[in-house]
A and B are shown apart, each in its own frame.
Chain A
Amino acid sequence: GAGVSQTPSNKVTEKGKYVELRCDPISGHTALYWYRQSLGQGPEFLIYFQGTGAADDSGLPNDRFFAVRPEGSVSTLKIQRTERGDSAVYLCASSSPPFETQYFGPGTRLLVL
């Protein structure tokens, strides 16, 4: 079956711009997670959805970051007023039930110039 997909695979933007990153989880997975991975580091938790609601957004670094999952399937991570420090790989994962094995997508490589 299809795994987790993420689009775009690469995104280059200018400082101050707004970006949206999309995640399509595995069909039927109720839990969805966003992580950020900087070069040479492990993934860092950003936010977790159970169904449509953000069950835990404590990992979001500041209020420029926001994520939605309006229908309990596809999720969008939104970054406002991007900064160069936001450059990283943004990973999405899904699981069912939550807190079990997470299946990761290939990530979106964001570069803020």
Chain B
Amino acid sequence: GENVEQHPSTLSVQEGDNSIINCAYSNSASDYFIWYKQESGKGPQFIIDIRSNMDKRQGQRVTVLLNKTVKHLSLQIAATQPGDSAVYFCAELNTGNQFYFGTGTSLTVIP
């Protein structure tokens, strides 16, 4: 079956520092990936996505990198702010058109 491993499971960073969250996926045929932010008591919120024909995509303070060779995906958050504190999930769209989610990374930003 599909396997999406996410690490670290918890991350604490100082306000203003950069944060990096990683995902390793198993299905080399997966071609669409999304990063979500989930705050306590809320549903996941879309942050940024990337397709397999790209290796980098940037948004506002966020960058997603995709390395298809090693099946690795990362989310970089620049100048992390207290409002970035949340649980972050990566999700891959597999060949069966189902989204598989990682186990999540709990990010805590220290003011």
Binding site for B on A (CB under 8 A): 4, 33, 40-45, 48, 56, 58-59, 91, 93, 98-99, 101-107
Contact (A42, B104) CB under 8 Å given A56-B98, A101-B34 = yes
Tally of B interface residues using CB under 8 Å:
24
In the assembled complex, the CB of B95 is this many whole angstroms from the nearest CB of chain A, namely: 11
Contact (A104, B97) CB under 8 Å given A41-B104, A42-B103, A42-B104 = no
Contact (A44, B43) CB under 8 Å given A99-B93, A101-B34 = no
Binding site for A on B (CB under 8 A): 4, 6, 32, 34, 36, 41-46, 49, 89, 91, 93, 96-104
In the assembled complex, the CB of A52 is this many whole angstroms from the nearest CB of chain B, namely: 18
A102 touches B99 (CB 8 A): yes
In the assembled complex, the CB of B47 is this many whole angstroms from the nearest CB of chain A, namely: 10
Contact of A101 among B43, B46, B102, B104 (CB under 8 A): B46
Contact of A103 among B6, B46, B93, B101 (CB under 8 A): B46
